[in-house]
Chain A
Amino acid sequence: GAVVSQHPSRVICKSGTSVKIECRSLDFQATTMFWYRQFPKQSLMLMATSNEGSKATYEQGVEKDKFLINHASLTLSTLTVTSAHPEDSSFYICSAEGTVNYGYTFGSGTRLTVV
């Protein structure tokens, strides 16, 4: 149980375009979704926390207009990287938490490359 499906696993896009990353909780209701980014050989950096039906809470230094997070339902959250630039290239991981599981179930990650 407690599976989170994250898509796409890899994406290459051109500078200036937008990319949407989806995370779906397959067998539980995700009341809270955490979005992380991870640079090579570094730890995870929390970008934002979203609760279903509410606006996301962004960490200091994370541009909310650039990284749009939507958590409109209990099973789906999306992260849209708008007007992507090469410096946005990174590994993005979502983590979902429901009312039953408190184990921080993670998606498999999305490797974004902006060229």
Chain B
Amino acid sequence: AQKVTQAQTEISVVEKEDVTLDCVYETRDTTYYLFWYKQPPSGELVFLIRRNSFDEQNEISGRYSWNFQKSTSSFNFTITASQVVDSAVYFCALSALPGAGNNRKLIWGLGTSLAVNP
């Protein structure tokens, strides 16, 4: 069965601190996609990253970075020098690759609520 676990329900940090959001996944597929999304209080989902299971390279985008480790089935997300505008709920998700038919739906984690305080 496919599953995504975000063990951290809520995290509170002070501005400029670094923070890592954990994501552990389970899947029997040998190929899959992993995603991170940000959901600010407005409710809109903001796509952050999609990572193919073939590509284990870590990625950096500005203050955001992602650490993908297939050996531990983890896809952790780090925000460096956090800012108040980073306050949101962050979701990790998993899906099969295109061509897998009806199994391509996203499997969502429960989300981590991040509060960055001034």
Residues of A within 8 A of B (CB): 32, 34, 41-44, 46, 49, 57, 91, 93, 95, 102-106, 108-109, 111
Contact = CB atoms under 8 A, between A and B. Distances in A.
Interface in B3-58: 33, 35, 42-45, 47, 50
16 contacts: A34-B105, A34-B106, A41-B113, A42-B110, A46-B105, A91-B43, A93-B43, A95-B106, A102-B50, A104-B95, A105-B47, A106-B44, A106-B45, A108-B43, A109-B44, A111-B43
Given A43-B91, A44-B91, A104 B44 contact: no
A103 B50 contact: yes
Interface in B52-106: 91, 95, 98, 102, 104-106
* B interface bracket (residues with beta carbon within 8 Å of A): 20 to 34
B91 A104 contact: no
A40 B108 CA distance: 15
Contacts of A111: 43
A106 B113 CA distance: 20
Contacts of A43: 91, 108-111
Contact of B106 (A42, A104, A108): A104
A104 B35 contact: yes
B44 A44 contact: no
Contacts of A46: 105-106
A108 B47 CA distance: 12
A44 B43 contact: no
A91 B91 CA distance: 16
A44 B47 contact: no
A34 B95 CA distance: 13
A106 B48 CA distance: 12
Nearest to A38: B43
Contacts of A106: 44-45, 47
A91 B77 CA distance: 26
Contacts of A105: 47
* Interface-centre pick from A34, A103, A104 (highest chain B CB count, 10 A): A104
